[in-house]
Amino acid sequence: MKKCSSLKHNENDAISFCQECRICMCNKCENLHSELFQNHHIFKLEKNKDITDIFTGFCKEKNHQTELKYFCKTHNILCCAECITRIKTNVNGQHTDCDICIIEDIENDKKNKLKENIKILEDLSINLQKIINDLKIIIEKIDKNKEELKMNIQNLFTKIRNTLNDKEDELLLKIDKKYNKLSINEEIIKEIDKFSNKIKLSFEKGKEIENNWNNNKLNSLINDCLNIENNIKDINKIKENIKKNNSLKFELKFIPNEDEINQFLENIKKFGYINSKIFDSKIEFDEELIKTWLNNREFNSELLYRKTRDSSTPKDFHNKCDNKGITIIFIETTKGYKFGGYTELQWDNKSGEKKDKSTFIFSINKNQKFTARNNNGSIYLS
């Protein structure tokens, strides 16, 4: 919404426009302006409509305040007396040399033209609605295709990730099982902690019995001796188990197959590609293969010639394809054979052989590319 042109009221929304003063006015300014300039032409402003869209009946050329009473047939535009004046200045005489008439002279022509335009607009409206509906269907298909492509890619890589995770879990579980089978017995580990203390206590008990041997307590002494003997047996058993486990040479290693892993990583890069139509051709073929033959060269393709559309004579071909730069040709016979050729030379109507080391032909049916054996006759124009 335009604001009032007054510095005092420039925060207020403008409600009108003065053609002569070329100012926007709020309610307060409009009342005062109408009292001061009763003969000025005031036009109400509409929301969301630019001032330049308002038809006031007066010329919009800079410094022109004259009513539009003339029509320039040359430029199909309304103009004022200052526009057609014979005296040319910086602001006047823009249509001095044009075919000018008064607006009454073109009234009937414009009425008849209006009827034609209304019919055209009716047809356009019907056609436009059909185009809009078709476009909506296309957009829906594109959006659906986009989501399907994303879903397919996500499903593929989810499957790959799940397979990798399963393999990881499998290897980790094998490690646990291997080490569980070959690990040192927990009881031995517990006994090892008591090993030194048990030797010390048995040694001290033996010295004590030896120093205090008393025949009166013979049965008790014999029992203590038996306990020491049993302790020695247990200690020797622990000792043997320790030696046995110390001599065990056990080490697991993870040995990845580097060749297979590298091949797998390379294959990941080839897991898929997004195919888009780059050739406007009715012949079906593997576009990615063609692009590979072209060394993945990026270019904007344009259908220059189609026999069923542009006729079949050599002249028709040259009219469409001469001097167009690099070309690639696709041909399909009535029996279904599909083949083509590529050249970086420009076509022209000069007959004879030409050299082109980049040229090649290909078979779509066999998915094969054939390069020229002799560059001298790689291109022949008849």
Please give the Cα distance from 154 to 157 (Å, whole number).
5
Displacement of CA 337 from its chain's centroid (Å)? 36
381 within 8 A of 352, measured Cβ to Cβ: yes
- Going by the DSSP 8-state scheme, the letter that residue 58 receives in this structure is B
- Other beta carbons within 10 Å of 331: 12
So what's the pLDDT on residue 29?
A: 93
Q: Is the pTM of this model over 0.75?
A: no
So what's the pLDDT on residue 70?
A: 93
So what's the pLDDT on residue 282?
A: 66
| Per-10-residue mean pLDDT, the chain, length 382 | 86 87 88 88 77 72 82 92 85 87 92 90 82 86 87 88 91 82 59 71 82 77 83 79 63 79 79 57 72 69 82 85 86 89 82 77 90 70 64
Please name which of 296, 292, 316, 295 lies closest in space to residue 304, comparing C-alpha atoms.
Answer: 316
What torsion, rounded to 10 degrees, do the Cα atoms 191, 197, 202, 205 define? Answer: -150
Distances (CA, A) of 184 to 192, 194, 249, 250: 11, 16, 12, 11
Beta bridge partners of 58: 67
Domain regions of the chain by residue span: 184-272, 287-381
| Structure token pair of residue 20 | 């002569």
Please give the Cα distance from 372 to 342 (Å, whole number).
11
So what's the pLDDT on residue 26?
A: 92
Find all residues with CB under 8 Å of 336, minimum gap 6, and list them: 365
